Amino acid sequence: MPRLQTRPPHPLPRNFVPVTDPRRAFASPLGVLLVISLFLALISPWLAGISQVHTDVNFGFQNPACWVIVLALVAAVLATSTAIRLAAILAAEVVLVGWFAWVMWLATTAQYSGVDFKFIGIDLIGAGWFEAALGLFAVAAIVARRLHAQEVPPGRDVLLLAAVPGMGLMRIGRTARGVIWAVFVATAVFLSSVASPISAIFVPISGHLDLPANPSTRAPEWIFLVSSLVLAPASVVDTIIVMRGRSQEV
């Protein structure tokens, strides 16, 4: 009696798997930096606890915004689709900037204005936010370098990556120029926290602190914050100028 012939299962196409091997995705200095940054973002304070205004510390693992950012950045590294990568990076940046803006507004509410201290939102933002921002820069750099190495023709993705200061320039091979812009913007935001008399970025791991004496002026913090708001769009403008120069050379 003849045996029944069974057809072997049809092999899946190579590009069917929508994610990269995690070992390869994180096997680089930027990948290691990302893992460390996201781990620290989860265990570090995002919002400082101040006894005088009866607020408790908020850690990253307690913060839904932190989890959204962490998941979005991991997805951006593992995804093979350029569209998914860019969407995840932009989603993480929107949440990161949105949370910063919310804290800036929170510092103006009655809860914080009822004490003898002139609060600015940067006074309240802990190390966790900055560590998540470092992770965002790391992921954007990973994606930008991958696209450049794959010799994908520059397109709309350059402007989308430029939303993260300097990363659009890195996408088109101007790595040094892009790093300079990234350092400028990141330093301005970092110095605004360092200039604060509270400096929540350096609070103990407990996240609780007491108010110092009311400062005579808050000008240094505002100068650095406004500088970051000027430098970030300036990096986008520089990216557009470089892109136009490249197109004219071609």
User: Could you list the residue range(s) of the whole structural domain that residue 244 is in?
Assistant: 20-249
What is the SS3 assignment for the chain? CCCCCCCCCCCCCHHHCCECCHHHHCCCHHHHHHHHHHHHHHHCEEECEEHHHCCCCEEHHHCHHHHHHHHHHHHHHHECCHHHHHHHHHHHHHHHHHHHHHHHHHCCCHHHHCCCCCCCHHHCECHHHHHHHHHHHHHHHHHHHHHHHCCCCCCHHHHHHCCCCCHHHHHCCCHHHHHHHHHHHHHHHHHHHHCCCCCHHHCCCCCEECCCCCCCCCHHHHHHHHHHHHHHHHHHHHHHHHHHHHHHHC
Asked whether the whole model's pTM tops 0.75, one would answer yes
Tell whether 15 is covered by a domain.
no
Among 222, 211, 225, residue whose Cα is nearest residue 114: 211
What does the buried/exposed string (b/e) look like for 58-94 if buried means 16 or more CB atoms within 10 Å of the residue's CB? bbbeebebbebbbebbbbbbbbeebeebbbbbbbbbe
Residues 93-125: tens digit of each pLDDT: 999 999 999 999 999 998 888 888 889 999 999
Tell whether 5 is covered by a domain.
no
Tell whether 3 is covered by a domain.
no
Tell whether 13 is covered by a domain.
no
Confidence of residue 27 (pLDDT cuts 50, 70, 90): confident
Tell whether 164 is covered by a domain.
yes
Residues 134-189: tens digit of each pLDDT: 999 999 999 999 998 888 788 889 999 999 999 999 999 999 999 999 999 999 99
**Two tokens at 113?**
């204005």
Tell whether 8 is covered by a domain.
no
Q: How many domains does the chain have?
A: 1
Residues 43 and 61: beta-carbon distance below 8 Å: yes
Tell whether 143 is covered by a domain.
yes
